[in-house]
Structure 1
Amino acid sequence: MDTMMKGEDSEEVEIDLGDSDELEDSDEQEEPVALWKASPVQDEEENIHTSTLVEISDTKPLLNNRDPRGINDILKVTFEDVIAEPVSVRSGDRVWIWSNALFEVSRVWIYRIVTVLLAIPTSIFSGLLFGILSCLHIWLFSPCVQCLLVCTRWLQSLWSIVMGIIVQPFFTSASRCCGGFSVHLARE
């Protein structure tokens, strides 16, 4: 029995292995698109069960842009930002190249090792902390503030009455009294 039927949802996928002799000249440098990755085709049954909340989830990892808000822009440190030789004192070219390479390799690998050791515990602790704070804010602090506002509504009304009856007329009359004064400067 032939399970593949011709003519049903067939798509052509272009495969670019990057070994063609033709070089495309373009004015703008665009990020290369991997044409060998075909987008997965979902059946209608899968689309029915997919919620919009799953598609717009904050829990999907951001693999391409891991700092979309630029929180850690200050940490974009290169070798030239740390070690710079003036023209008057220079080491050998090989020393400069090897120190640059060792700096970059050690920076990247130390970061990777430390993140392997600390990233998961830190993310668990941060998730617990922010989860607890969110729960307290939503279920404890906000209802308490709303309850306080409801219970002190009479105090807010009393305060506005006191301001309207006593304070506002006093300052209005004081401004009218002081409005009649004029200051003239004269030289003697």
Structure 2
Amino acid sequence: MDTLKKDEDSEVVEIDLGDSSDPEESEDGEEPQTLWRAQPSLDEEENIHTSTLVEISDTKPLITSRDARGINDCLKVGFEDVIAEPPSVRSGDRVWIWSNALFEVSRVWIYRIVTALLALPMSAISGLLFGLLSCFHVWMVRPCIRCVLIGNRWIQSFWDVMLHIVVVPFLTSAGKCCGGLGIHLAKE
């Protein structure tokens, strides 16, 4: 067994480099587990957002929650969400495992390559667009709306008076006149 140690605070990872047909067992008396079959611990399960077959990036994330508001929940897609075999039709286990691994690796790396090419230009364009729209709204739209509201204050007051003097009494009297009417339907 070879032992690899990354940092002082990280755990020791054992990798079995021996032949799987060796009759030898490990020092514990247990059969050694291969790395691709190892189940992640509970702490690791909470932090892993992709399949365990995909190696997580070696860089530590700068932002722990990149989608805190759940804007892109529709993009949480796994291999089983895209490709599923019914019980009546099944491929070999190795084909399924390698297809799963190829799907996850290609999905992750294509995303990384495309974001490496487009993320910075799109961020700059989006920042420029939202900056221009914010500036336009703060310095042009909102002051114009306030000027119109201030300049038309007398129209609002006049309209309010007209409603209370003419329209409200007319509709109130019409409602009282029609309120006393009754309709009786009879068959002949």
The change in CA–CA distance for 1:62 and 1:131 in structure 2 (over 3 A counts) is farther
Partner of 1:141: 141
How big is each residue's C-alpha offset from its partner over 1:48-70, in whole Å with a ceiling of 9 and x where there is no partner? xxxxxxxxxxxxx9611000000
Cα distance per residue 1:141-161 (max 9 Å; x no partner): 000000000001111011111
- The reply to whether residue 181 of structure 1 matches residue 181 of structure 2 is yes
TM-score normalized by structure 1?
Answer: 0.68
Q: Percent identity?
A: 66
Deviations 1:70-125 (A, max 9, x none): 00000000000000000111111100000000000000000000000000000000
Provide structure 2 residue ranges, at least 5 long, that are not aligned to the other structure: 1-7, 13-41, 46-60
TM-score, with length taken from structure 2: 0.68
> d(CA) in 2 for partners of 1:183 and 1:155?
42
Q: How does 1:93-108 map to 2 (within 5 A)?
A: 93-108=93-108
SS of corresponding position for 1:181: coil
Distance 1:162 1:179, change over 3 A: same
Question: Could you tell me how far apart the structure 1 residues matched to 2:108 and 2:77 are?
Answer: 11
CA distance in 1, matches of 2:115, 2:170: 66
CA distance in 2: counterparts of 1:182 and 1:125, whole angstroms: 67
Equivalents in 2 of 1:18, 1:125: separation in Å? Answer: 42
Whichever residue aligns with residue 101 of structure 2, its letter is A
Q: Which residue does 2:169 correspond to in 1?
A: 169
> Any gaps of 5 or more consecutive residues in structure 1?
1-14, 20-28, 33-60
Q: What CA distance in whole angstroms lies between the structure 2 residues aligned with 1:17 and 1:116?
A: 29
Partner residue, 1:24: none
> Residues 132, 94 of structure 1: CA spacing in aligned structure 2 closer, same or farther, 3 A cutoff?
same
1:30–1:85 distance in 2 versus 1, CA, 3 Å = closer
Aligned residue in 2 for 1:47: none
User: What is residue 82 of structure 1 aligned with on the other side?
Assistant: 82
- Tell me how large the CA RMSD over aligned residues is: 2.0
**1:43-122 alignment to 2 at 5 Å?**
63-122=63-122
Q: What's 2:129 paired with? A: 129
